[in-house]
Amino acid sequence: MTPEPLDVAILGAGTAGLSARAEVAKVTDSYRVFDPGPYGTSCARSACMPSKAFIQSAHDFHRRLAFGALGIAGGDALSAEIAQVLAETRRLRDGLVDDVVEGMRRWRDTHLVPHRAAFERGGILRAGGVRFRPRATIIATGSRPLVPEGWRDMLGDRLLTSDDLFERHDLPRRVAVIGLGPVGLELGQALARLGLEVTGFDPSPGIGGLDDPDLQTRLRDSLSEELTILRDRAEPADNGPGGITMRWAGGETAVDCVLAAMGRVPNLDGIGLDALGIGIGDDGRPDLPDGQLNLPGTRIYFAGDCGPGPGLLHEASDEGRIVGYFAARDEDAIFRRRTPLAMVFCDPQIALAGATWDSLKAREDKIAVGEASFDRAGRTRLQRAPGGAIRIYAEKATGQLLGGAILAPGAEHLGHLLACAVGRGDDLVTLLRMPAYHPTHEEVLRRALRAALRKCEVAMDDLDAIRCKDAPVEQEAQQRQHAPIGR
């Protein structure tokens, strides 16, 4: 059978693949999208959206603990129905998936091949018994949760991952969360807030992707009030119907199920990359040059969870559109990535914008760090919210903003603001000229900016300095020595 010629083959109909298709379709109709399903993107099916719906239910239920301070009686009578929370999460999830599938309606009958595709020698792509010869191929096959070998056989349906958690119709009382990166931290805290007994294991010094040691201490102290966190590597042992024993160097504990949140593995196995002479590195991805999304000398492009960037939806969408643009034009996919921005929707939230502390600490003597606390800020006190802090990183010689780490209520909004400022190349003085409404969390940001500026070799105009001070009432409140408000 003579292979069907294609301008572009797109492997995967997730966020990166759909974004790539949108760009390719502007240039050529000679393309196909290969995906066996299910459709709807990982974000809509199991990641960003259903997890945030589930987390919202948990945070709202936890909010009852502040009702007394707000003058609202009866919070103690509320209960969380886990089965109903999961059902509502699925209901919302299914609507979001339907929206994505509906967006494919215009082209899926003519351009979607509902089969997994794999390469043969000579660059031929085979899918569902049909062979294709693409001029360019975009690989955006997504990823799957990392599960250690033998765990599935040992634990069976007592093993959970973020891909199948929301398919459960109920959850047992005791849960071990293995891995406290963003996913494990978000889901672990949510499960604890819904009334489950949660023990989290992670041997790394930083959890939630937060690498600033000062904020990491705050984060662990805050979370320890809700769940048990052990800085150890744990292994499960099957004890039969009675439960699972988690063992680590310092002890053991009994649980009913295990949530594996140890990262994700790109779905690059089984698609025949070896037939093209393409090797895979230790991280499960090909070794691409910095700032490039195709292998040099080839028209094989990688995007999304298969690409070199972080596994975040906005990065996958960017990479998909970029590879689609260049693949359709038969060019190398060289680009400049946007300012890094990452968030964790725990409570308090985590937001990281621009350069991280790990990337800056080697030249710590040239970096000005400004810190400010949310513990007694006006907005925090009015919301009866947990406290937190913000850390600003700037270049001492120029006062240029390099990045920031935030652990605070509403950190998602401050994170966007800082990412925008870093992308524009703003300095601290420029940021301090922004208005700050009262009472808002942005007032705390101004304090951190001022603290960083005091350590810089940059002068500030007297009038600017006066205008950037706190309002007297807020300044007096900050000077009082009170214990932070808890929940």
* pLDDT score at 486: 40
The model scores a pTM over 0.75: yes
Q: What is the rounded CA–CA span in Å between residue 197 and residue 190?
A: 11
pLDDT by 10s per residue, the chain, length 487: 789 999 999 999 999 999 999 999 999 999 999 999 999 999 999 999 999 999 999 999 999 999 999 999 999 999 999 999 999 999 999 999 999 999 999 999 999 999 999 999 999 999 999 999 999 999 999 999 999 999 999 999 999 999 999 999 999 999 999 999 999 999 999 999 999 999 999 999 999 999 999 999 999 999 999 999 999 999 999 777 778 999 999 899 999 999 999 999 999 999 999 999 999 998 899 999 999 999 999 999 999 999 999 999 999 999 999 999 999 999 999 999 999 999 999 999 999 999 999 999 999 999 999 999 999 999 999 999 989 999 999 999 999 999 999 999 999 999 999 999 999 999 999 999 999 999 999 999 999 999 999 999 998 888 888 888 888 766 555 554 444 434 3
Measured CA to CA, the distance from residue 257 to residue 175 in angstroms comes to 5
For residue 268, give the amino acid letter: L
Give me the domains of the chain, ranges plus CATH numbers.
4-144+265-328 (3.50.50.60), 151-263 (3.50.50.60), 341-479 (3.30.390.30)
Q: What pLDDT does residue 243 have?
A: 86
Peptide bond into 439 cis (omega under 30): yes
Q: Rounded to a whole number, what is the largest CA-CA distance in the chain?
A: 81
Question: According to the model, what pLDDT value does residue 461 have?
Answer: 86
Residue 440 in tokens = 């808002």
Q: What is the pLDDT of residue 467?
A: 84
Alpha-carbon distance of 355 to 340, in angstroms, equals: 7
The Cβ of residue 237 has, within 10 Å, a number of other Cβ atoms equal to 10
CA distance 95 to 113: 24
